[in-house]
Amino acid sequence: MYPKTYHDVRRQRGLGLPMAIFIIVIVGSVLLAMTDLNTSGTQGFSQDYQSQRAFYAAESGAQVALNRIFMGGAACGNFNLSLSANGLAGCAVSVNCTQVSVASINYYSINSDATCGSGAEMGRRQIEVRARSN
């Protein structure tokens, strides 16, 4: 009823080996891309973290300068801070203050520059605050 057909082994061409190599190359490329993405994400998070710490360190430097001027009665000047509080330990702050008097009103310009971390993971922020007193 059904004709018997015999397949010649020489005529058969397999697709298994080229397909397996193709799949291995594609999966390897995807894994390599995911590893690179993970590394970039980790480094970006670390830089963001150090940048946020530097921002708060610069804010702290400006607040210290304002406190020295208005509460402590100190003259406006330049100073450096080395912070040791939790979260800001290891950050360095440089504060520059200039004072201008116009019609018996004192105007202060405070520039606070902070750095946290080192190398590729260093964060740096600069804040300028202006104040006046009668």
What average pLDDT is seen over the chain?
Answer: 86
* Tokens (6 digits) for 26: 């594609």
Stated as kind and residue range, the H or E segment containing 18 is helix 16-70
Determine the average pLDDT of the residues in 101-124.
Answer: 91
What pTM did the predictor assign? 0.68
DSSP classification of residue 41? H
Residues 105-117 as b or e (16 or more Cβ within 10 Å = b) = eeebebbbbbbbb
So what's the pLDDT on residue 10? 61
DSSP classification of residue 3? P
